[in-house]
Structure 1
Amino acid sequence: MKKLEEKLKNPVWFSLEETHKNFLIEFDGVKFYNPEINNFGAFFNEEKTFEALNEYSKLTDKFFFVSENQTPLFDEKKIILEKKINGCQLVLDSLVDLDISENIVKLTEKHIDEVYDLIWLVMPGFYQKKGFYMGNFYGIFKDNKLVAISGQRMQTNDFIEISSVVTHPNYTKRGLASQLIVHTTKEIIKEKKLPILHTNKGNKAIPLYEKLGYKLTRDMNWWLFCRK
């Protein structure tokens, strides 16, 4: 059995090996999510990524490899490296509790379109509508409209990643994100799992995460590829 620290170094790989194994697509020892759910891939052996990317690119035109410090190989005749996002991983050190004044509700399938629309409004790009099935999502409504959410993404038997923390631009600076993060963190703790986060280096949200008890632990980089 792999130790928690080993799993945290390659979260996509072990999520697909454990909790999310039903979403797994594998090419020659390289693991990917079903692109209808998510477009992340992971590897241990860089030499195998060359052909695996060619195969996965037949299923979706944009996709990521997530890696702490390894560099994937790719076929420049078929695949373009669009950019490398220098990211980082944070894990909960000691939760700083916060009064929850908002009514936070667990979202259901009837909210899938609202979740998708809000994420794409705030962070357009790579969230798949069926990413809702990766874990629980929580939301805050104002005037019968979903205005802030937090969700769960990668997860194993040991940890759950908090993701998709977004607030509608008209409702920022009200502490909604902080309350959602704390609520989601507590829900993960109830499952006896470690809450973790990923973001890009320099993100203005990092001080907020640290204020709530999260600690920067390692690099976790996203290599964004697209099909030629």
Structure 2
Amino acid sequence: MGMTEQGLAGLANPVWAALHGGQRQLAQPLGAMRRYPPDVAPFAAVPEEGMPVPAGDLALLREDVFFVGAIPAVPPGWEVRELGGVTQMVYTGGAIAAPPREGVTLLDPLDPAMQELTDVAFPGYFRARTGTMGRYFGIFDQGRLVALSGERMDMGEAREVSAVCTRPGYMGRGYAALLVRHVMHAMQEDGITPMLHVGSGNARAIGIYEALGFIRVRQLRHARLVLPPP
């Protein structure tokens, strides 16, 4: 299994690729921009780096949005706040053996426990309907969700492993790697290449993903478009 050169090139602007690929039905137009519905994901995209976005298009926004890859140019009064780079990684190994199912649950896509858990690690990114973007798997302890991973952006040839999160006090038990393998196996059964994004400074997570067979493909900018004060 592997991606075509065109597919790999498209990952340089992943939100745009997803909103014109496997998740085109979710794309909301804002002039030349596209974004996910706010209750699905807080991401927006422009077709190319540095594309000027007029104030009239930006005025259609009702909340801050995030960009990954191509970052727009905005008029005075608007702020694009850099959040640090992300490393994009793509799985290049062979078939993932089916991981053990015991203790792993396929989650209800609208389970509010997913948003509660992810708010511990990356607040604001996981929304009420993010779980509808793909399949999410979790591990429970005494009825409480303690670890999570699932699918987010769908670029067609590739899907993004995302929401890799373990509750404090449960780290170091191998939950993250186990759940990521579940997500990867499900993607491979669909003939899809797993990929992911991770903060470039998160050496521990990058090491885990490299051990699972992911390689670093590129560094991407990550920024937040901040709405001006009312």
TM-score scaled by length of structure 2: 0.87
Question: Any unmatched runs of 5+ in structure 1?
Answer: none
Contact 1:80/1:225 (8 A) holds in 2: yes
Give the secondary-structure state (helix, strand or coil) at the position aligned to 2:140.
strand
Which residue in the other structure is 1:14 paired with?
17
Which residue in the other structure is 2:209 paired with?
209
Number of residues of Structure 1 aligned to a counterpart in Structure 2:
223
After superposition, what is the alpha-carbon deviation per residue over 1:83-108, rounded to whole angstroms, capped at 9, x for unaligned?
Answer: 33211100001157696475211111
Which residue in the other structure is 1:34 paired with?
37
Contact 1:50/1:75 (8 A) holds in 2: yes
Which residue in the other structure is 1:137 paired with?
136
The percent identity for this pair of structures is 26
Measured in 1, the distance between the counterparts of 2:100 and 2:212 equals 13
Deviation at 1:137, TM superposition (A): 0.5
Which residue in the other structure is 2:7 paired with?
4
Give the secondary-structure state (helix, strand or coil) at the position aligned to 2:83.
strand
Contact 1:98/1:179 (8 A) holds in 2: no
Which residue in the other structure is 1:60 paired with?
62
Measured in 2, the distance between the counterparts of 1:186 and 1:165 equals 15
209-218 or 39-48, which deviates more: 39-48
Q: 1:143 to 1:54 in 2, by over 3 A?
A: farther
Contact 2:151/2:162 (8 A) holds in 1: yes
Deviation at 1:127, TM superposition (A): 2.0
Question: Any unmatched runs of 5+ in structure 2?
Answer: none
Q: How does 1:177-216 map to 2 (within 5 A)?
A: 177-203=176-202, 204-216=204-216
Look up the equivalent residue of 1:133 and give its one-letter code. Answer: T
Measured in 2, the distance between the counterparts of 1:54 and 1:205 equals 40
TM-score scaled by length of structure 1: 0.88
Measured in 1, the distance between the counterparts of 2:164 and 2:56 equals 32
208-217 or 123-132, which deviates more: 123-132
Deviation at 1:20, TM superposition (A): 1.1
Measured in 2, the distance between the counterparts of 1:150 and 1:177 equals 7
Deviation at 1:34, TM superposition (A): 1.8
Q: 1:101 to 1:153 in 2, by over 3 A?
A: closer
Measured in 1, the distance between the counterparts of 2:106 and 2:142 equals 17
Give the secondary-structure state (helix, strand or coil) at the position aligned to 1:60.
coil
Which residue in the other structure is 1:227 paired with?
227
Q: Which has the higher helix share?
A: 1
Which residue in the other structure is 1:73 paired with?
73
Measured in 1, the distance between the counterparts of 2:63 and 2:184 equals 33
Give the secondary-structure state (helix, strand or coil) at the position aligned to 1:129.
coil
Contact 1:106/1:137 (8 A) holds in 2: yes
